[in-house]
């Protein structure tokens, strides 16, 4: 059974220009996850002015190693858009992807 993971990335310097350049490759790299319906949520993290400062992608993977490998191959990682990023396992408790009842 697939498990749920969060890729949380924070942009580095020149984030707006880097995002514009790399975004098409980033979106293309997620097409297989989208086709497999393995993406639960994906989108930018925003500052108070509504500008992107990073990204959050919730996706399914077999295990942590597979999730980390997937994240490491994302163009936002390989092309240096993210200054830092982390992959953590999570569990949906609310919403259509809930894996267990809310307590």
pTM to 2 decimal places: 0.86
Domain ranges of the chain: 3-90
- Say whether pLDDT at 25 is over 60: yes
> Looking at per-residue confidence, does 37 or 42 come out higher?
42
- Say whether pLDDT at 11 is over 70: yes
Domain 3-90 has CATH 3.40.50.10320: no
> How many angstroms separate the CA atoms of 41 and 55, rounded?
10
- Span 94-103, average pLDDT: 66
Q: What is the pLDDT of residues 48-97, one digit of tens each?
A: 999 999 999 999 999 999 999 999 999 999 999 999 999 999 988 877 76
The pair of three-digit structure tokens given for residue 12, joined into one six-digit string: 């580095």
């Amino acid at each position: 059974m697939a498990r749920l993971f969060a890729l949380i990335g924070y942009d580095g310097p020149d984030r707006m220009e880097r995002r514009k350049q790399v975004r098409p490759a980033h979106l293309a790299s997620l097409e297989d996850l989208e086709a497999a319906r393995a993406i639960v949520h994906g989108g930018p993290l925003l500052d108070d002015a509504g500008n992107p400062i990073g990204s959050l992608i919730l996706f399914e993977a077999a295990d942590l190693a597979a999730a980390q490998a997937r994240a490491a191959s994302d163009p936002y990682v390989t092309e240096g858009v993210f200054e830092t990023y982390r992959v953590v396992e999570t569990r949906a408790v609310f919403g259509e992807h809930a894996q267990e009842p809310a307590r």
